[in-house]
Structure 1
Amino acid sequence: MKHYDVAIIGAGMAGASLAAEIARHASVVVLEAEDRPGYHATGRSAAFWSETYGGVGVQPLTSASGPILAEGGFLSPLGSLHIGRAADRPTIDAFLAEFENSNITLAEVDPAAQVPGLRSEWTLGVSEPSCSYIDVAGLHAACLGAARRAGVEVLCKAALVNATRDAAGWLLDTAAGPVRAGIVVNAAGAWADRIAKMAGVRPLGIAAYRRTMTQIRTEPLAPEGLPLVADIGGKFYFKPEPGGRLWLSPHDESPTEPCDAAAEEIDVALAIERFEGVVDWRVAAVEHKWAGLRSFAPDRLPVYGFDPREPGFFWCVGQGGFGIQTAPAGAMLGAALLLGHTPDAAVRSIDAMIYAPGRFDA
Structure 2
Amino acid sequence: MTHPDIIVIGGGIAGISAAAELAAHARVTVIETEAQLGYHSTGRSAAIFIRNYGNATLRALNAAAAPVFEAPEGISDRSLLSPRGELLLAGEDELGTLQAYCDGASGIDLLEATDAVDLVPILRPERIVRAALERDAQDIDVDRMLQGYARLLKARGGQVVTSAPVTAIRRGHAAWQVTAGDRPFTAPVLVNAAGAWADPVARLAGVAPLGITPMRRSAALLPAPKGHDISRWPLFGSISETWYAKPDAGKLMVSPADEDPVAPHDAWPDDMVLAEGLHRYEQAVTVPVTRVDHSWAGLRSFAADRTPVAGFAPEADGFFWLAGQGGYGVQTAPALAQLTAALVTGAEPGLSDATVAALSPARFHSS
Equivalent residues of 2:224, 2:230 under 8 A apart: no
Report whether the alignment pairs 1:354 with 2:361.
no
Write the deviation string for residues 297-320 of structure 1: whole angstroms up to 9, x where unpaired. 111100010000012100000101
What amino acid sits opposite 1:358 in the alignment? A
What amino acid sits opposite 2:235 in the alignment? L
What is the correspondence of 1:34-45 to structure 2 with a 5 Å cutoff? 34-45=34-45
- Match of residue 168 from structure 2: 162
- Match of residue 63 from structure 1: 63
Of 298, 318, 325, 2:324 maps to 318
Paired positions, count = 355
- Equivalent position SS for 1:40: coil
Equivalent residues of 1:218, 1:283 under 8 A apart: no
Report whether the alignment pairs 1:114 with 2:114.
no
Of 244, 249, 259, 1:242 maps to 249
2:30, 2:231 → 1: CA distance?
Answer: 41
- Equivalent position SS for 2:336: helix
1:192, 1:202 → 2: CA distance?
Answer: 11
What amino acid sits opposite 2:87 in the alignment? L
1:117, 1:213 → 2: CA distance?
Answer: 19
Say which is worse superposed, 53-62 or 153-162, in terms of deviation: 53-62
Instruction: Calculate the TM-score normalised by the size of structure 2.
Output: 0.93
CA drift of 1:38 comes to 0.8
Report whether the alignment pairs 1:153 with 2:155.
no
CA drift of 1:268 comes to 2.1
Report whether the alignment pairs 1:213 with 2:219.
yes
CA drift of 1:168 comes to 3.0
- Match of residue 332 from structure 1: 338
Unaligned runs of at least 5 residues, structure 1? none
Instruction: Calculate the TM-score normalised by the size of structure 1.
Output: 0.95
1:223, 1:163 → 2: CA distance?
Answer: 49
Equivalent residues of 1:7, 1:30 under 8 A apart: yes
Equivalent residues of 2:57, 2:355 under 8 A apart: no
Write the deviation string for residues 262-298 of structure 1: whole angstroms up to 9, x where unpaired. 1121122122201111110122321111000110111
Equivalent residues of 1:219, 1:283 under 8 A apart: no
What is the correspondence of 1:235-314 to structure 2 with a 5 Å cutoff? 235-243=242-250, 245-314=251-320
CA drift of 1:222 comes to 5.3
Equivalent residues of 2:311, 2:322 under 8 A apart: yes
CA RMSD of aligned residues (A): 1.5
Report whether the alignment pairs 1:342 with 2:352.
no
Structure with a larger share of its residues in strand: 1
Write the deviation string for residues 159-217 of structure 1: whole angstroms up to 9, x where unpaired. 11111112131111112411111111100001001000111100001000110011101
- Match of residue 133 from structure 2: 127
1:176, 1:149 → 2: CA distance?
Answer: 26
2:33, 2:89 → 1: CA distance?
Answer: 40
Report whether the alignment pairs 1:173 with 2:179.
yes
2:132, 2:241 → 1: CA distance?
Answer: 14
Write the deviation string for residues 46-82 of structure 1: whole angstroms up to 9, x where unpaired. 1111112223221111121112101231100001111
2:2, 2:67 → 1: CA distance?
Answer: 38
- Match of residue 5 from structure 1: 5
- Decide whether aligned partners of structure 1 residues 304 and 125 sit closer, same or farther in structure 2, where only a CA change above 3 A counts: same
1:64, 1:142 → 2: CA distance?
Answer: 19
What is the correspondence of 1:41-56 to structure 2 with a 5 Å cutoff? 41-56=41-56
- Equivalent position SS for 1:293: strand
Unaligned runs of at least 5 residues, structure 2? 73-78
- Equivalent position SS for 1:329: helix
1:22, 1:356 → 2: CA distance?
Answer: 18
Say which is worse superposed, 58-67 or 185-194, in terms of deviation: 58-67
1:8, 1:224 → 2: CA distance?
Answer: 38
- Equivalent position SS for 1:17: helix
- Match of residue 75 from structure 2: none
Equivalent residues of 2:60, 2:355 under 8 A apart: no
CA drift of 1:94 comes to 1.5
- Decide whether aligned partners of structure 1 residues 71 and 350 sit closer, same or farther in structure 2, where only a CA change above 3 A counts: farther
Aligned residues with identical type, % of pairs: 39
- Match of residue 230 from structure 2: 223
